[in-house]
């Protein structure tokens, strides 16, 4: 039997297929939106110490006379460790830290984005165990690495 004898035209079968595909796509998008396992911030690994990203931002006041500064709190530094970090910052020309944000963290190292009053941002890699600065860089240039100052931040402004 032909389709026309059944009362169904080929054109109508094509419309039905397109309608079903569109309906399935809408249902899929709705399901992903409603049951998004990642929330609004994207995928997050929930187990293991592999990597962790955050958007913890601390503003650092210029007066650091508190018993424990914002820098020491965020990086979990002792007074001696904080003094060593601030000395390295000073040696690199980073005297006006305005904010610091955790970029990534794994079992050995944490990376922080540090903003200065002049608008320059640097990445600071800190060893999680010793809390020593391992590297400071900006614009693909090392400012501090291998325990020595390579350049001042002002060289790259």
Query: Do residues 116 and 148 both lie within one domain?
Result: yes
* Domains contained in the chain, number: 2
Decide if pLDDT at 7 tops 90: no
20: containing domain: 3-34
Query: Do residues 84 and 149 both lie within one domain?
Result: yes
| pLDDT one-digit tens code per residue, 24-76 | 888 888 777 676 554 444 443 333 333 444 444 444 444 444 467 888 888 88
Rounded CA separation 71/144 (Å): 18
Sequence-distant (≥ 6) Cβ neighbours of residue 98 within 8 angstroms: 59, 60, 115, 116, 117
Asked, for residue 146, whether it belongs to a domain, the answer is: yes
| pLDDT one-digit tens code per residue, 75-116 | 889 999 999 999 999 999 988 888 889 999 999 999 999 988
């Amino acid at each position: 039997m032909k389709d026309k004898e059944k009362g169904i035209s080929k054109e109508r079968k094509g419309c039905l297929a397109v309608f079903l595909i569109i309906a399935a796509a809408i249902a899929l998008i709705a399901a992903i939106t409603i049951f998004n396992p990642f929330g609004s911030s994207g995928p997050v690994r929930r187990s293991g110490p592999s990597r962790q990203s955050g958007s913890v931002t601390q503003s650092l006041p210029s007066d650091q006379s508190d018993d424990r500064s914002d820098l020491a709190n965020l990086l979990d530094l002792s007074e001696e460790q904080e003094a060593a970090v601030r000395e390295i910052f000073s040696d690199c020309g980073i005297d006006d830290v305005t904010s610091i944000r955790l970029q990534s963290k794994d079992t050995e190292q944490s990376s922080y984005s540090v903003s200065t009053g002049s608008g320059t941002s640097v990445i600071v890699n800190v060893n999680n165990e010793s809390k020593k600065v391992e590297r400071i860089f900006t614009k693909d240039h090392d400012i501090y690495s291998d325990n020595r100052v390579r350049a001042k931040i002002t060289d790259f402004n």
